[in-house]
Amino acid sequence: MTTARAHTNIALVKYWGKRDRQLMLPQTDSLSLTLNEFYATTKVEFDPSLTADQITIDGQAVSGKGQAKITAFLDIVRQLSGKNDFAYVQSTNHVPMAAGLASSASAFAALATAAAGAAGLQLSRRELSRLARRGSGSATRSIYGGLVEWHRGTDDLSSFAEPIMEQVDFPIEMLAILVNTKKKKVSSRSGMQSSVETSPYYPAWRQVVVDDMKAMKKAIADRDIPTIGHIAEENAMRMHALTLSSDPAYTYFDAETLTAIRLVHELRDSGINAYYTMDAGPNVKVIYDRHDRQAILDKLSPVFGRERLVVSQPGPGVTIIDD
């Protein structure tokens, strides 16, 4: 039996679109920040007496598509290890699921690590990153802490993540505004595929990411939080332009999303370097220097309530934990 904990990550330069859905190979590189406040803890035990995988998430048995997805992932582990037993999987999420808060990243990074350990595989972190990618693309980055780059690669061996700065030595923080934590109507998988296939702007997006990756890595090397925030904000809005330009058009925004964006603009107008980013969901993440945290909380709390604002620092990579 092995138990692993992995933290979610939020992309500063987004991953939006696959070129190989079987191997989960992305159209572009991406770059993210792992967060300390959101994580999944997963326990895996292979048992020869089982006749099927038994999976629970937050104490609830998983069936249907969810079960099939996890079993397919466990089949990859079984193939790698030569172990044919079915498994008990127990996972606890400390992040709302399917709400644009990257729950699948932490979930599959924890599952990959726990399942590999339980199956007796001795994998390097790069190999774990490649394995986690097969469950969820963004999970490839949650193997590592801090600021992480995912190389798009050309095949299974060359598509993996690695840390740019695992121990972040400058005061960047990210505040999540929990606008709506319900399950989104358009999944990331179906949304990004629609954008790849139907948005006339998708070819331009690939070049946007090339340029943003270069600029973001320089900003990180310079410890330049305003530039990091500006690039992340522009990159996020260009990603969401792909959803609006798909056929049929769709959006992850809701009314409070737009309110949050307006308040961040007002913070900047008042001289505070705050920037926003969003993944495939309505929840807004604010990027800023921790010295400005209180001013940002003072601005947002009267509108959203303090309990809906979650402050995160850069978080750690995946770990094996004792029960």
Q: Is the pTM of this model over 0.85?
A: yes
pLDDT at 101: 66
Q: What is the pLDDT of residue 61?
A: 95
For residue 251, what are the contacts with CB-CB under 8 A and spacing of at least 6? 240, 243, 244
Rounded to whole angstroms, how far apart are CA atoms 17 and 114?
Answer: 27
The predicted pLDDT at position 100 comes to 54
Q: What percent of the chain has pLDDT over 90?
A: 91
Of how many residues is the chain composed? 323
Q: What is the pLDDT of residue 103?
A: 84
Say if residue 48 is exposed, middle or buried (CB neighbours under 10 Å; 0-12, 13-18, 19+): exposed
Question: Quick one: angle between helices 225-244 and 202-221, nearest 10?
Answer: 170
In this structure, the number of other CB atoms found within 10 A of the CB of residue 206 comes to: 13
pLDDT in tens, the chain (323 residues): 999 999 999 999 999 999 999 999 999 999 999 999 999 999 999 999 999 999 999 999 999 999 999 999 999 999 999 999 999 999 998 876 555 566 889 999 999 999 999 999 999 999 999 999 999 999 999 999 999 999 999 999 999 999 999 999 999 999 999 988 778 788 888 999 999 999 999 999 999 999 999 999 999 999 999 999 999 999 999 999 999 999 999 999 999 999 999 999 999 999 999 999 999 989 999 999 999 999 999 999 999 999 999 999 999 999 999 76
Q: Parallel, antiparallel, or unpaired: how do β-strands 284-289 and 275-277 relate?
A: antiparallel
For the record, the structure tokens of 151 come out as 């190389």
Q: At CB < 8 A and 24+ separation, what contacts does 52-55 make?
A: 52/86, 53/86, 53/87, 53/88, 53/89, 54/86, 54/87, 54/88, 54/89, 55/89, 55/91
CA dihedral 140, 142, 147, 152 (to 10 degrees): 10
pLDDT score, position 96: 63
* Structural domains of the chain sorted by starting position, each given as residue range(s) with its CATH number in brackets: 2-167 (3.30.230.10), 172-312 (3.30.70.890)
Q: Which residues contact 259 (CB under 8 A, 6 or more apart)?
A: 303
Spatial separation of the C-alpha atoms in residues 120 and 68, rounded to whole Å: 23
Quote the pLDDT of residue 322: 78
Contact 154, 144 (CB under 8 A): no
Nearest to 77 by CA among 47, 118, 35, 109: 118
